[in-house]
Structure 1
């Protein structure tokens, strides 16, 4: 996935294992767990990638899953 715009413009990353929770949190939200690798940091130092980056790619992952579910193109494997 490539990011366009903002402070992470030009960064390319890929998702690894994504885990969906079996039940909601007390506040009704779901907390995904996921792995990722930065493929191209676009010259940014490793220490530049902090919680805001993790939150951003988490939001992007939710959007990707939502789109795939709308298109009936979502696959889930229990590994």
Structure 2
């Protein structure tokens, strides 16, 4: 039997592009809905620490690649922080 963390890690191993895409979609959804999106912290609270680390890496790759949220200018990992 797999834990949720183990399952999501296997999913990321099998299809990192899919996980990265869904991570972006969830980030955008929560920022539009609540103004913040700290997906890794939420995953850590739900006892998925390794998957939280991987989600954080996907978000950091987007940030390093220069992706910005659609006009929002909000940092994709931390709430209410403007991207310079």
Normalised to the residue count of structure 2, the TM-score between the two structures is 0.32
Q: Which has the higher strand share?
A: 1
Q: Which has the higher helix share?
A: 2
Normalised to the residue count of structure 1, the TM-score between the two structures is 0.34
When Rg is computed on C-alpha atoms for both structures, the one with the higher figure is 1
